[in-house]
Structure 1
Amino acid sequence: MAPCIKPQQEAQDLQDPFEKLVAPQAAPRKHEIVHRAVIGLAYVHLAAIYGLYLAITAARWYTILFSATTAVAAGIGVTAGTHRLWSHRAYKAKLPLQIILMVMNSLAFQHSAISWIRDHRMHHRYSDTDADPHNATRGLFFSHIGWLLVKKHPEVLRRGKYIDMSDIYANPVLRFQKKYLIPFNWTICIILPTLIPMYFWGESFNVAWHMVMLRYVYSLNVVFLVNSFAHMWGNRPYDKSIRPTQNSLLSFLAYGEGFHNYHHVFPWDYRTAELGNNWLNLSTLFIDFFAWVGWAYDLKTVPDDVISARADRTGDGTNSWGFNTKSN
């Protein structure tokens, strides 16, 4: 049974003496383009489009099933691993599960887990301000993918030193991935998923490679949608004063991460969603399975009465499905 806890600071961050000076809206700024990132992301997206064509016209069913399976594994490596376990410490994991999640996260290859965690802790502490790496007030494209194509805002760099990462740098599993990032992640994310279909069921290199690109780009954009769409459209049942929203369709696509208004109000809840939505929440089911095995423990949740009280006090009067819950 997951223990209930009261709201608390999830990381002992250093006090930022300038925190109150962060502007609630993005100030005009000329972006400095990172051309290598533009070329790389343009290539993988074009290759993914061709991969989609090959999936329809040429790929074997084994290859399609393999790509779908690895896409789910990569997604859970991000949602259950870098997000819920390491960024928010919403539960604890024994070493075997940490290794599994690190490998699954490498399959997603969204840089190193350490970099991802730092950016995400910044996102929560300075959400939708200039110190947020993917500040949604700069527009849909910027918060979705544009932030990866330009140099980071000076506020992101300046305030990053106030984010406590001591628990992450002390983790030998994450240090291993960081140390061997390029050879390890390339092997897990690109090389092996290309070679396995070729070796085991005779898929061509052309199809195998472009199906990997399709899976990779899908995994990237599923996470990007949480940064962009879930800060733009949807209802706000728990706090109508913040940008993050609830989006049930996105939660299905993102393995349970679409209940974003809830998550920003209660970031330490390992479900990232309120009770009643777990049938959309594949990541929660994954964690629950390993809790049953005994490899996941100290699962943190929020009491139902605390959830309801917060919704009544600061919510917009809707529930997660958009229906009004307050009488006129």
Structure 2
Amino acid sequence: MLLQCFACQYSIFHWARDHRLHHKFSDTDGDPHNATRGFFFSHIGWLLVKKHPEAKKRMRTIDVSDLKENKVLMFQKKYSTPFIGTICFILPTLFPMYFWNETFASAWHLTILRVILSLHATFLVNSAAHAFGNKPYDRNITPSQNISVSLATLGEGYHNYHHVFPWDYRAAELGNNALNFTTLFIDFFAWLGWAYDLKAVGNDVIAKRAERTGDGTNLWRWGDKDMHKEHEDIAKVLCKGQ
């Protein structure tokens, strides 16, 4: 929760609610950052205007009961402004000034630069990953696999896969951890026992879906049997008994 405050993306409650809305009504007016309204809108324009009436209507159909039952999330939601202000802006400015005698101007402007760069990298998932790339799992939707976005976001550019299999915690086919540090982060806490009930898609299901609706591309070494077995074994270990 504290790290999410550091990311300056409002509260976890609002983020998760909008993300569920995005998946359920992707690329329609019910999608808060509808990619069919253009690159700028899906990247940042949706944050500069009021939500589309259809998005507001559809938002009432999203189940957020599990989020409301989480006391940590609701605590953050209630105090999101002071939390984000302190963790994202005040402390990152004061620490360099106190420990390394940095000037206020330098510390403050570097803090703002960090926020701008991290937010725009994140926004690329909604914009670039819905506009450029290949579609090995479903050629009929806008979300795409995009290497550049994966590099910029530490693993969130496997977007065609993520929209076809949204319940897979890895958000990438076969675990594919070479560029997916987000999955490695979750795997680390699964190893500690703090992350559990991790769900992954079987390789046979992935292969059948790719054959049925994919565009035939092979960006992520698809067909490497050794890699298939390796990541299938990893997924089984992580998901077993958690």
Using the size of structure 1 for normalisation, the TM-score is 0.66
Question: Does residue 1:107 correspond to 2:6, yes or no?
Answer: yes
Unaligned regions of 5+ residues in structure 2, if any?
224-242
Match of 2:187 among 276, 288, 292: 288
Structure 1 residues 183-262: aligned runs within 5 Å: 183-262=82-161
Partner of 1:6: none
- The partner residue of 1:267 within 146, 166, 174 is 166
State the alpha-carbon separation in 2 of the partners of residues 321 and 302 from structure 1: 16
After TM superposition, give the deviation of residue 277 of structure 1 in Å: 2.1
Q: Tell me how large the CA RMSD over aligned residues is.
A: 1.6
1:144 touches 1:224 (CA, 8 Å); kept in 2?
Answer: yes
1:234, distance to aligned residue in structure 2 (A): 0.5
Once superposed, which parts of structure 1, at least 4 consecutive aligned residues long, lie more than 3 Å away?
Answer: 321-324
Name which of 299, 308, 311 aligns with 2:210: 311
- What residue identity is the alignment partner of 2:95? I
Alignment of 1:17-96 (within 5 A): none
Q: Is the 8 A contact 2:7 2:118 kept in 1?
A: yes
Corresponding residue SS for 1:221: helix
In the alignment, structure 1 residue 144 sits paired with structure 2 residue 43: yes
Deviations 1:154-188 (A, max 9, x none): 00111110000000011101011011111111110
**In structure 2, C-alpha distance between the alignment counterparts of 1:218 and 1:107, rounded to whole Å:** 13
AA aligned opposite 1:204: T
Select the residue among 200, 205, 213 that pairs with 1:301.
Answer: 200
Name the SS of the counterpart of 2:117 in structure 1: helix
Equivalent in 153, 159, 171 of residue 52 of structure 2: 153
Displacement of 1:296 in angstroms is 1.0
Percent of aligned pairs with the same residue? Answer: 65
- Verify: 1:117 aligned to 2:31, yes or no: no
Letter in 1 for 2:131: M
Q: Distance in 2 between matches of 1:168 and 1:260?
A: 24
- Give the conservation status (yes or no) of the 8 Å contact 2:175–2:183: no
Query: Structure 1 residues 276, 121: closer, same or farther in 2, change over 3 A?
Result: closer
Question: Per chain length, whose mean CA-contact separation is higher, i.e. which structure has more relative contact order (CA < 8 Å, sep 6+)?
Answer: 1
Q: Distance in 2 between matches of 1:114 and 1:320?
A: 34
Q: Taking structure 1 as reference, are residues 174 and 323 closer, same or farther at Cα in structure 2, changes over 3 Å only? A: closer
Unaligned runs of 5+ in 1: 1-101
Query: Is residue 239–residue 314 contact of structure 1 (8 Å, CA) maintained in 2?
Result: yes
Q: Distance in 2 between matches of 1:206 and 1:158?
A: 44
Contact kept? 1:259, 1:320, Cα under 8 Å: no
CA–CA distance in structure 2, aligned partners of residues 319 and 159 of structure 1: 36
Name the aligned partner's letter for residue 310 of structure 1.
Answer: R
**8 Å Cα contact 2:76-2:83 kept in structure 1:** yes
TM-score when normalising by structure 2: 0.90
Contact 1:134 1:142 in 2 (8 A): yes
Distance 1:117 1:180, change over 3 A: same
